[in-house]
Amino acid sequence: MTRIIADISVSLDGFVTGPDPGPANGLGDGGDGLHAWAFSEDPEDGRILREAAARSGAVVMGRRLFDVVDGPWGWDDETGYGAGEAARPGFFVLTGSAPAAVRLTDLDWTFVTTGLADAVAAARVHAEAESARAGTDLDVVVMGGGATVASAVDAGLIDELTLHLAPVMLGSGTPLFSAGAPRTLVQRRVVPTSTATHLTYDVR
């Protein structure tokens, strides 16, 4: 069964970027430590990354994140979805309007202008079709940015929340959660590694 999974790295003080994020500074000032686990040599970090990439049938992201990953300082042959794992899911970008051009033309981009629920619904259809072709269950991964993940949780669109809790305190930046709808979480897994604590919750 296809599940909708929010998956994001966050600092101990609740930020998903440092201050002043932008296309040339995607994680903001001091934010590189948030994703150190994705490039770690710790075998548990590697397993978590590989399994997440392998289960991805479709990915949802917001327009600001798209502008970072598709920008000149964004993803390349060594750094991409899954930090270089061989994952080629369909990407669904929540945006007010489609961009005039796309740099990463080897990836499957769909631009959704009718809201987050429609983006998730379209991604689910894609992931279910990929599941049928692959003969295994694949999921929709809502990868960010923070506002997209928080909005999806608030809207009740998320089945599972995975947080990669990095041992850094950024002091300011882009918060993951602020005031939002109350949700009950059921803790399913806690995996501590040398670079992060990986937390998985079912969202009720």
pLDDT at 86 > cutoff 60:
no
User: Are the C-beta atoms of 65 and 143 separated by less than 8 Å?
Assistant: yes
pLDDT > 70 fraction of the chain, expressed in percent and rounded:
97
Cβ–Cβ < 8 Å for 31, 173: yes
pLDDT at 180 over 80: no
Sign of the dihedral through C-alpha 88, 64, 38, 149: negative
Pairing type for strands 90-94 and 56-62 reads: parallel
Average pLDDT over residues 109-127: 98
Spatial distance between the Cα atoms of 4 and 159, rounded to a whole number of angstroms: 5
Q: Is the pLDDT of residue 87 over 70?
A: no
In the chain the domains, ranked by start, together with CATH numbers, are: 4-194 (3.40.430.10)
Q: pLDDT digits over 2-39, tens only?
A: 999 999 999 999 999 999 998 889 899 999 999 999 99
Q: Return all residues near 170 (Cβ < 8 A) that are at least 6 apart.
A: 11, 13, 15, 17, 18, 19, 28, 30, 31
Task: For the chain, give the percent of residues with pLDDT over 90.
Answer: 84
Model pLDDT, residue 38 = 93
Q: Is the CB of residue 15 less than 8 Å from the CB of residue 178?
A: no
Q: How far apart are CA 58 and CA 169, in angstroms?
A: 31
Find the farthest-apart pair of alpha carbons in the chain and give their distance in angstroms, rounded. 45
Please list the alpha-helical segments (H only) found in the chain.
Answer: 43-54, 63-69, 116-134, 146-154
| Token code pair at residue 47 | 């397993």
The three-class DSSP label of residue 87 is coil
For 134-179, write each residue's pLDDT tens digit: 999 999 999 989 999 999 999 999 999 999 999 999 999 999 998 7
Cα angle value 16/42/36 (rounded, 5°): 25
- What would the two tokens of residue 14 be? 């609740």
